[in-house]
Amino acid sequence: MKKMTRRKVVQTGALAGIGLVGKSLGQTLRPEQDELQGVDSIIVPQPVDPISGITCGLTPETIDGPYYFHGAEMRSRISEGKEGLPLRLGIQVVDVTWASAPPNLCFPIQNAIVDIWHADALGIYSNSTLDAQGVDTAGQTWCRGAQATDESGYCEFETILPGWYLEEGGPPWRPIFARTIHIHAKVYFRNKVVTTQIYFPDAFIESVYAQALPYRETPTRTSRVTGEVHSIDPNEADWVYGQGGPMTEPERDGDGYYARAVVGTMNA
């Protein structure tokens, strides 16, 4: 065992994840540093064993998008009764500092805070405005939540599969475009924040929109700006998808699906 100074503890977030139930993300990240005042040192464990059975790589950073807000509740069940295919989403956060050269090892990052948010099955976000998406959902919290990772770097959310939507505030070269199915994630650990988006295979999306309710009821959407009718595009047509992000491989799980994403970052 080795000791860390008070400053090092604050930098690493060594106490993140303690007493998180019922707190918001903002309440979780700030008070812990206050609690460390006056602490000279703390015992922390030696490095953990490497992870096997997964592909380790550095997860590309991407944009927040227009629907993020700080202060998600620490919870695993986030759908709040919204209609849609049940989705059990597992996220594993790993340190890939030593993964680029043999023996290509990656290690779990415990007590990272994973904050996710996504649209409902109809492509609508909670806590957004009429101007932003054509529906006022201010003050609502569905499909948003945060958790701390366990000793294997893993946490899991119970939610629903999000739907696609038209993004009508895109860049000048693509002001209106179809956003493929995705889930936003921010990972907080030490003094770092990793922002990414999690995706699903085209064939899986096509199957869902061909068969499942309420998804199959929205094969097209009409632009509020131009009145043009748009259809969902393949992943590659979404310019945000081109920035990179974890791709899942959904598996049947009861009446819904289980999907797992690995977020790799440098813990140095």
- Tens-place pLDDT, residues 36-52: 233 333 233 345 677 76
CATH superfamily of 48-265: Aromatic compound dioxygenase (2.60.130.10)
pLDDT in tens, 109-146: 999 999 999 999 999 999 999 888 989 999 999 999 99
- Sole residue written with tokens 């460390």: 36
Segment holding 86, helix H or strand E: strand 86-95
Specify the pLDDT at position 98: 83
Specify the pLDDT at position 4: 34
Segment holding 188, helix H or strand E: strand 182-189
- Sole residue written with tokens 């759908």: 79
89/95 Cα distance (integer angstroms) = 20
Q: How far is CA 4 from the centre of its chain?
A: 30
Strands 41-44 and 2-5: antiparallel
Alpha-carbon Rg for the chain in angstroms: 19
pLDDT in tens, 232-254: 989 999 989 999 999 999 999 99
Name the pTM for this structure. 0.82
pLDDT at 215 over 90: yes
Task: Give domain limits for the chain.
Answer: 48-265
pLDDT in tens, 11-22: 333 333 334 445
Helices (H), the chain: 6-12, 25-29, 31-35, 130-133, 202-211
Tell me what the mean pLDDT of segment 56-83 comes to.
93
